[in-house]
Structure 1
Amino acid sequence: MTTTQIRTCHKWFALIAAMQLLIWLATGAYMVWMDIEFIRGKPLVNKANTAMYQVKAPAYSFADFFKTHPDATEISLYTYQDTLYYRAKIAGKLQRFSSETGEVLPLLDNQQALAAAELVYTGKAKFAHSTLIEQSAPSEIPTRVLPVWQLELDDAMHSTLYISAVTGQMVSARHDYWRLFDIMWMLHIMDYETRENVQNPLLTIMSTLALLTALFGIALAYISFRSIPSREEQI
């Protein structure tokens, strides 16, 4: 390629990629500057901040559970407050079972969800609003965690805790800085739908274009240095 062709390609590639390059710089800077643990809600909750309980072996054994639910998957025992429960997926749906009788238990009610949230919440704000979400998850949580209780806090960051309506365990903590981080991540990876696919075609095209812009710029810099006359030639 001639110098004119290289210069033309560099100009047009840079013109097309310039806006996305600025977006990458701005979003990358935000994500680097912010403490990831803060973004994940560490100041709001302490998952280890749970009471220690002494529980007896389940009266309803694993053998009994397998016999009653042969199609169950991901079976485990866990303690919610001072009671031992089974949790397992039946036909892909997470359910909670009594460790005494093996019966399926209902979803947590509002008071139980608030009690579970207060167990891990470390702040001083009050819970202002609670909503049971069984379908159509908000964009800030994945659908796979449903059903959940959405517990909104009355604080400056518009914080929200999500508690599993099945197990009573905290699913996630969200606040305005996380929401802004999520937008930055979306713009950075150029996945405007799921915000998860870092190998989408649009990102591939723009990153290739940005790479070509840089390579043509390097080529122009090399050509310009080669064209500078030496001191002997100037004399």
Structure 2
Amino acid sequence: MKKAEFRRKIRKTHRWMGVILGIQFLFWTVGGLYFSWSNMDEVHGDHQKAHIHPIGSDIKLVNPQDIIQKIKLKDTVNYIFDIRLIQLLSEPVYQIFYSKEHDRGKKVQLAYATSGELRSPLTKKEATEVAQQNFSDDAKVKNIEYLTTTNGHHEYRESPLPAYAVTFDHPSNTTVYVSSELGTVQKFRNNKWRVFDFLWMLHTMDYQSRDNISNWLLRAFSIFGLLTISTGFILFFVSQRKSKII
């Protein structure tokens, strides 16, 4: 192949590779600009989280072992994974995580920490009250949705279910997600987070679950980028003309 023909093919290949890769580079750049210029506390809704007064140290708590015995009356308890003390609508409540089998079927039981009485998962009304108590701004509730399933693109993906999605009539369009079985707020999602999440999907090139940075499409484009740079270097050198000797 003649040098001129080889140079022409390299130039054409580099041009088309540059156009294809350039689109993704544009996504990466726009995403990077948004990420670097965004206040992550605002993206995560931290500034909208209300301060909840902690439980006083003089409180008298029931022995968790007594509650475990009550759970055994209605269910099989072979393993205890965790016991946590939370505040649910100004009441101290135990979260007791247990299971019948060691490696699967983990369950959670809520119980009032002062009386030892077992309690049911949150109702719609209780979940709404929890969301309102944890949302710092004075806004009305616009919509309430009960979630039992989510997909890879849902803003509450890979989080405890079932849950109530309580959306407020607020300029940020914030939704507070409350786990009915855990009795606690899991996520704050607002418009800034949604833009961030969309750009993050373009950044990682994970169009299924959005968070996998080891997907094959991203790996392929990384190799594609190296090839594009390589053709650029080749084009640079083959395009050089030899200096005339005087």
TM-score category (smaller protein): 0.7 to 0.9
Runs of 4+ in 1 over 6 A off after TM superposition: none
Q: Residue 83 of structure 2 aligns with which residue?
A: 75
The question of whether the paired residues in 2 share the 8 Å contact of 1:94 and 1:166 is answered with yes
The question of whether the paired residues in 2 share the 8 Å contact of 1:58 and 1:84 is answered with no
CA distance in 1, matches of 2:28, 2:168: 32
- Aligned-pair distance for 1:89? 4.2
Alignment RMSD (CA, Å): 2.9
5 Å-filtered alignment, 1:42-53, equals: 42-46=46-50, 49-53=51-55
Q: Which runs of 5+ in 1 are unaligned?
A: none
Give 3-state SS (helix, strand or coil) of 2:46's partner.
coil
Select the residue among 224, 230, 242 that pairs with 1:209: 224
The question of whether the paired residues in 2 share the 8 Å contact of 1:87 and 1:167 is answered with no
Q: Does 1:59 pair with 2:68?
A: no
Q: Which runs of 5+ in 2 are unaligned?
A: 100-104
Q: Residue 195 of structure 2 aligns with which residue?
A: 180
Deviations 1:1-43 (A, max 9, x none): 9662543442232233222222222222222222222111123
Give the number of the structure with larger relative contact order, counting CA–CA contacts within 8 Å between residues 6 or more apart. Answer: 1
Once structures 1 and 2 are overlaid, which stretch shifts more, 213-222 or 195-204? 213-222
5 Å-filtered alignment, 1:78-89, equals: 78-80=86-88, 81-89=90-98
Once structures 1 and 2 are overlaid, which stretch shifts more, 52-61 or 188-197? 52-61
Give 3-state SS (helix, strand or coil) of 1:167's partner.
coil
TM-score normalised by length of structure 2: 0.78
Q: Residue 22 of structure 2 aligns with which residue?
A: 18
The question of whether the paired residues in 2 share the 8 Å contact of 1:21 and 1:210 is answered with no
Change (3 A) 1:64 1:117: closer
Deviations 1:98-138 (A, max 9, x none): 446656421112332233223221112212222332x1236
- State percent identity of aligned pairs: 25
Give 3-state SS (helix, strand or coil) of 2:144's partner.
strand
TM-score normalised by length of structure 1: 0.81
Q: How many residues align?
A: 228
